[in-house]
A and B are shown apart, each in its own frame.
Chain A
Amino acid sequence: MRMARWQPLATSWDPFQQLQSEMNRLFDRWTQPTERSNGGAVDPAVNVWESGEAAYLEAELPGVEFKDLEVYVTGGNQLTLKGQRKPLVPEKGVWHRQERPVGTFVRVLTLPFAVDADKVDAKLENGVLLVKLPKHEAAKPRKIAVKAE
């Protein structure tokens, strides 16, 4: 069997990588003794894509308020997504079903290029977080003029 190299931020996406990522997430859930409840992971799944002169990160965070979220870039290309999923139910009552995860989460991602940390922009709409990560000047593609002698 051919071994595939684990590349969390490969430039091309393929189903085998997706499968591996899913398997990792599945085993992480069983092996990590955290406050996860009922099959739902607290850590949000993320999608990252590149378009033009920026990268975009999207995460589904239903029920999370903007004030409970922290997004920042360190070291040029390290993106940290921190937050808390708070319970929404009233204090007094009885649970019939609890599938929504509760707790704090941190995800750190390394981007394949440096980001202009001052221009990072995040918005939260209908429970979906979208972070725009503009490329740093040094990371932008540059056209090199070829001179004919």
Chain B
Amino acid sequence: MAEATTTPAKGLAEQTRPERTRGGIQFSPRVDIFETEDELLLYAEIPGVKPDNIDLHYENGELTLNARVTPRLPTQGFLLKEYEEGDFYRAFTISETIDASRISAQAKNGVLLVHLPKVEKVKPRQINVRAD
């Protein structure tokens, strides 16, 4: 599985793209993808990221999420260290059935919610049958 995580908390992002200039560790955020009648909903866990530091980009059918963490952890004095902090990166291929012009997103409690509305023509429609 391509998105398998390597640690229980969060997995390291795969290095399948140009190298970045910012140092530090990078994680692949855990996501939920859920489809309703009108849209696809994408929930991405990006704890510790301020909403201003989220960069969501759509280009050529690819949705890219880049979230920069503001360092919080000290460098010393640890009694227990179970996770590292780092930026989040993940890219998604968006099919043509999504209306890219209407993609919207909001962040709350460290979870980014992206609304991916379906194109009008792919929405299921009830066809009325008239009796003559």
Contact = CB atoms under 8 A, between A and B. Distances in A.
Interface of A: 8-11, 13, 18, 21-22, 25-26, 29, 39-41, 44-51, 55, 58, 60-65, 88-90, 92-100, 109, 111-112, 124, 126-128, 130
Interface stretch (B18-26, B58-66, B75-83): B75-83
Among A11, A39, A65, A92, the one with the most B-chain Cβ atoms within 10 Å of its Cβ is A39
Interface of B: 3-5, 7-10, 30-37, 40-41, 43, 45-51, 72-74, 76-83, 107, 109-111, 113
B72 A58 contact: yes
Contact of B81 (A18, A41, A50, A95): A18
Contact of A99 (B32, B36, B109, B110): B32
B33 A97 contact: yes
A125 B58 CA distance: 28
Contacts of A89: 32, 34, 41, 43
A45 B8 contact: yes
Contacts of B77: 49-51
A65 B33 CA distance: 21
B82 to A, nearest CB: 4
Among A13, A44, A60, A92, the one with the most B-chain Cβ atoms within 10 Å of its Cβ is A60
B79 A94 contact: no
Query: Lowest 6 CB-CB distances: which A-B pairs, in order?
Result: A127-B110, A62-B110, A127-B47, A45-B82, A60-B47, A96-B33
A49 B110 contact: no
Contacts of B107: 126
Contacts of B110: 60-63, 126-128
A39 B33 contact: no
B55 to A, nearest CB: 16
Given A94-B34, A98-B32, A128-B48, A62 B109 contact: yes
A49 B110 CA distance: 22
A142 B37 CA distance: 65
Contacts of B111: 62-63, 88, 127
A9 B79 CA distance: 5
A12 B25 CA distance: 22
B35 A10 contact: no
Contact of B80 (A39, A88, A109, A130): A109
A8 B32 contact: no
24 contacts: A11-B79, A13-B80, A13-B81, A18-B81, A26-B8, A39-B4, A39-B8, A44-B9, A45-B82, A49-B79, A49-B81, A60-B110, A61-B47, A63-B43, A64-B109, A65-B109, A93-B35, A96-B33, A96-B35, A98-B32, A126-B51, A127-B46, A128-B47, A128-B48
